[in-house]
Amino acid sequence: MRVLLFALLGLMPLCSQGQQLAVTSVNTGNYATGVDTTLREIRLTFNQDMVKGFSMVEHSVLPRLTGKPGWVDARTFSLPVRLAPNQLYYFTLNNPYYKRVRSAAGEVLPHYPIVFETQKPALTPEEQLRNRVLNTASYELFCQKFLKEYSHLGKTGINWRQVLADHRTQLTEAPDASAFLIQLLRVLQPAHDLHLRLRLNGQGYPTYERLYELNSNDELRPKLVQNFRQWSKYVSTGELGPAGYLAIDSWDRNHRDEIRKCLDALQTLREKPYLIIDVRQNGGGDESIAQEMAAQFFRRKTVYSRIEALDEKKRTITRVEHNYVQPAGKNPYAGKVFVLTGAGTMSSSEAFVLMMQQQPNTTLVGAPTCGSSGNPKPVELPNGVRVLLPSWREMDRWGHPIEGHGVQPDVHVAAREEEFASADPVLQRALELIKEPVAITR
C-alpha cells in the first residue's frame, strides 16, 4: 500500500456548517471508464472550506504525479498527473491511519474511493460480442449467488433484487471485464461490508472501507513496555511489573510461521500472574491460528460462537452450527488475562476475542471491536472477475450478532485518538484493573 501525504501550513477560513463534509465533484468522473489520457490534472471539489492537508491511499495504482499537489482555493484540490492508457486507477481519500482530508471546522472526510479507467484501444465487433456474452453470463451468475448465498443480504434493508435489475444494462453492456468490475464496485458500495471484495488479474478491490477512531499506537510499545522484544513483524512482548504483555497484530495465514511465534512468546510469560494480550491492531486472517492461540488458556472444549452458514444442498444461509475452541494441553495459562480491543480488532480477531471471553479469568478492556465477520468464499465469474462473498453470519454464544455491532468490552475506555500520540489510556486502564479489579457481568 502506497500513501501520499501532503501537510501544508495554515488553515482555510471557517465556513457555516449544516451538511456533512463531502466531495461534490471529481473531474475524471467516479467509477468512470474511457477517461481521456490527455487530462493533466485531477481536480476534487468539496462542499466545505478545507484544512490545507491531504492524504491519498493506493489500492491498485495511483496516478503518476508530475508536480506538487496543492489547494487551488478553499474547496478545490489539484493533483497534476500523467495518466497511462488502459489503466484502472483505484485510490482513496483518508483511511483509519491517515485522515488529513478534513474541513476547516475539523470534520474528517469519510473514507472516499476514487475509481476510474482510462481509454483503451477500440474493440473489434467480435470482441464486443464476446465480452457482452461473458458479462451477461457473469451478471446472471452473480445475481444467483448474491441473492441466495450472501450472508448479510438483509443487513442494510436494501432491495438488492431491484438494485441489480436496475443496473443490468450497465453491467452486461460494460465493454470488458474491468469495466464490469468498476460498475459492480459502484453497485455494491452501499452494502457497507468490509468482507465483500472483488478481484481481477491478481489485484484486489474492496467494495467498502470505513474510518474509525484508533485506540492504540504501536510506535509507543517499546517506550511503554519494559524488556520489549519483537518476535516477528506481527508479534511482540514485554513486561509491565507483575504483568506480561503480548501484542498480536494479525492472524494472516500467509504469514503463519511469523504469527505462530506468539505461542513461543507466551511460554516466556507463563509465570506471570497477569497477562495483557493486545489485539487492537489485529485485522484478522485465519481463525484456526487464533484458535491455536486461544487453546493455550482452556481446560475443556468450549463453544465461543454460533453461526448461520451456507447450506451446500439448499444453497441458502440456513445451516446453524457452533464454533469451538479445543484445549491445547493439560496445563493452560492460569493467571488473570486482560484482552485489549478496539475498532481495529476485526473478523477472525473478533472471533479470538469471543474465545477469550468464555474464560472467567479474562477481562476485555478498550472499545467495541469492528463488527465485521463473514468468512468470504470465492465466486468465479465467467469474465474473470472473482467475487469474495461473505458466507456466514456469526453471533456470540448468546445469539448477539457480530456484524455491525462488534464485541463489547467488559471495561470501556473512552479516549480520543489524539491521546494515543504520547500515552496509552487503554493499557493504563488494564494496569489499574490489576491493582483494583472490578466485577464483570456478562
pLDDT in tens, 28-54: 999 999 999 999 999 999 999 999 889
Cell digits of residue 121: 484501444
Amino acid letter for position 176:
D
Rg (CA), the chain: 24
Secondary structure E strands in 326-429: 336-341, 362-366, 376-380, 386-390, 392-396, 411-412
Given a contact cutoff of 8 angstroms between Cβ atoms, the answer to whether 249 and 281 are in contact is yes
Given a contact cutoff of 8 angstroms between Cβ atoms, the answer to whether 184 and 168 are in contact is no
Cell digits of residue 282: 489485529
Task: Identify the residue whose cell numbers are 520489549.
Answer: 228
Given a contact cutoff of 8 angstroms between Cβ atoms, the answer to whether 379 and 145 are in contact is yes
Residues 6+ apart with CB under 8 A from 296: 263, 266, 328, 332, 333
Helix (H, G, I), strand (E, B) or coil at 422: coil
Q: pLDDT tens-digit profile of 204-242?
A: 999 999 999 999 999 999 999 999 999 999 999 999 999
State the pLDDT at residue 10: 37
SS3 per residue for 193-233: CCCCEEEECCEEEECCCCCCCCCCCHHHHHHHCEEEEECCC
Domain spanning 122-206+374-401, CATH architecture? 2-Layer Sandwich (3.30)
427 vs 442: CA distance, rounded Å: 22
Given a contact cutoff of 8 angstroms between Cβ atoms, the answer to whether 175 and 32 are in contact is no
Helix (H, G, I), strand (E, B) or coil at 11: strand
Give the strand pairing for 411-412 and 226-230.
Answer: unpaired
Q: pLDDT tens-digit profile of 108-165?
A: 999 899 999 999 999 999 999 999 999 999 999 999 999 999 999 999 999 999 999 9
87 vs 133: CA distance, rounded Å: 23
Secondary structure E strands in 208-313: 226-230, 235-240, 243-248, 274-278, 302-311
End-to-end CA distance of the chain: 40
Q: Which of 236, 308, 241 is nearest to 278 (CA)?
A: 236
* Predicted TM-score (pTM) of this structure: 0.89
Classify domain 218-300+330-371+406-435 at the CATH topology level: 2-enoyl-CoA Hydratase; Chain A, domain 1 (3.90.226)
State the pLDDT at residue 14: 38
pLDDT category of residue 6 using cuts at 50, 70 and 90: low
Domains of the chain, by residue range, sit at 3-118, 122-206+374-401, 218-300+330-371+406-435
Classify domain 3-118 at the CATH topology level: Immunoglobulin-like (2.60.40)
In the beta sheet, which residues pair with residue 235?
A: 248
Cell digits of residue 11: 488553515
Give the strand pairing for 88-93 and 51-58.
Answer: antiparallel
Q: Which of 407, 406, 424, 408 is nearest to 416 (CA)?
A: 424
Instruction: Let me know the angle formed at the C-alpha of 159 by 158 and 162, rounded to the nearest 5 degrees.
Output: 140
Given a contact cutoff of 8 angstroms between Cβ atoms, the answer to whether 55 and 93 are in contact is yes
pLDDT category of residue 3 using cuts at 50, 70 and 90: low
Helix (H, G, I), strand (E, B) or coil at 154: coil
Q: What average pLDDT does the segment 365-389 reach?
A: 96
Task: Identify the residue whose cell numbers are 473531474.
Answer: 27
251 vs 292: CA distance, rounded Å: 11
pLDDT category of residue 13 using cuts at 50, 70 and 90: very low
Q: What average pLDDT does the segment 409-427 reach?
A: 96
Q: What average pLDDT does the segment 385-392 reach?
A: 96
Longest dimension (CA), the chain: 76
194 vs 207: CA distance, rounded Å: 7
Torsions phi, psi for 19 (to 5 deg): -145, 155
Whether 4 shows a pLDDT value over 50: the answer reads yes
202 vs 362: CA distance, rounded Å: 41
Averaged confidence pLDDT in the chain = 93
Q: What average pLDDT does the segment 347-353 reach?
A: 97
State the pLDDT at residue 57: 87
Whether 394 shows a pLDDT value over 70: the answer reads yes
